[in-house]
Structure 1
Amino acid sequence: MAVQNAPDQLVGIFRDTVVALVRRDGHDLSARQLGVFLTVYLGEGPHTVRGLAATLNVSKPAITRALDRLGELDLAKRKTDPQDRRSVLVQRTPKGSAFLRDIRSVMTEAETASRTVAPAAPANTESATRRAV
């Protein structure tokens, strides 16, 4: 049995998670949208467009486009900061919280599956098939 090293196992879990999210019914998120989403839901708030742009090292328009999409999907919403009308706060939504729970569940399943390592396949399956015939 082949045993994956830790970095490969983590990348495999990430791949399995992304594939499961893409296969789900409905819309999937781009890497940037997912990065903004996870930063909002896993980081301490309050979150602002300006702060997210600085944290992720991308432009404010890129954050705005990602938030437009997250807003369309009801995964996050924007609200003008009542204390500073120039600032826009990013808020979590119930649907976004449910989506985060789904992501955690998918990742847990992928992590569990990664512990079950299948026997290594022959390097050249075509020649292995010829030998068997």
Structure 2
Amino acid sequence: MAVQTHPDQLVAILRDTVVALVRRDGPDLSARQLGVFLTVYLTDGPHTVRGLAAELNVSKPAITRALDRLGELDLARRKVDPMDRRSVIVQRTLKGTAFLRDMRQIMSEAEGVVPEMSEAPEAANAEPPRGEGRRAG
């Protein structure tokens, strides 16, 4: 039986994951780029610009811009569909597979440091007293 994760824990894991990705060497992805990347890598293909636009409910130009960036970073590539030369297929890359592996590791580590949500939601959302909060650094 799977253990239920509290929504606040999921948000904390997401936050810690995004922060870790941003702090890494090299470029980071926008939310849209990450959404396209994860859709390509976590769902069965073949993936097309038209299909990704429909699945994510965004415009084809938005998908094209995201794929342009993913292509620049070698996280995905586009190839003309040999069966229908009007269509473009999005392909996974070795660098993209490595990025996904790293992301899984980062998320696993983030999950390990998220405290259990045992306090009341109101207390968890309270601001710390002045001078006792986290400091950037």
TM-score of the superposed pair, with normalisation by structure 1: 0.85
Instruction: Say if 2:75 and 2:93, in contact at 8 Å, map to a contact too.
Output: yes
Please state if 1:54 is matched with 2:54. Answer: yes
Classify 1:88/1:126 alpha carbon distance in 2 versus 1 (closer, same or farther; 3 Å).
closer
Instruction: Say if 2:9 and 2:116, in contact at 8 Å, map to a contact too.
Output: no
Post-superposition offset of 1:126: 3.8
Aligned-pair identity (%) = 74
Residue 35 of structure 1 corresponds to which residue in structure 2?
A: 35
Post-superposition offset of 1:124: 5.2
Name which of 116, 125, 129 aligns with 1:125: 129
Classify 1:80/1:112 alpha carbon distance in 2 versus 1 (closer, same or farther; 3 Å).
same
Name the one with the larger helix percent.
1
Please state if 1:6 is matched with 2:13. Answer: no
Instruction: Say if 2:52 and 2:63, in contact at 8 Å, map to a contact too.
Output: yes
| 1:28-107 superposed matches below 5 A | 28-107=28-107
Which residue type is aligned with residue 80 of structure 2? T
CA displacement, residues 73-95 of structure 1 (integer Å, 9 cap, x when unaligned): 00000000001000000000000
Measured in 1, the distance between the counterparts of 2:67 and 2:131 equals 51
TM-score of the superposed pair, with normalisation by structure 2: 0.83
RMSD of the alignment, in Å? 2.3
User: 5+ residue gaps in structure 2?
Assistant: 133-137
User: 5+ residue gaps in structure 1?
Assistant: 129-133
Post-superposition offset of 1:125: 2.4
Measured in 1, the distance between the counterparts of 2:128 and 2:98 equals 43
Q: Relative contact order (C-alpha < 8 Å, sep 6+): which is higher?
A: 1
Measured in 2, the distance between the counterparts of 1:115 and 1:67 equals 36
Which residue type is aligned with residue 107 of structure 1? M
Which residue type is aligned with residue 129 of structure 2? T
Please state if 1:17 is matched with 2:17. Answer: yes
Which consecutive segments of 4 or more residues in structure 1 shift more than 4 A? 119-124
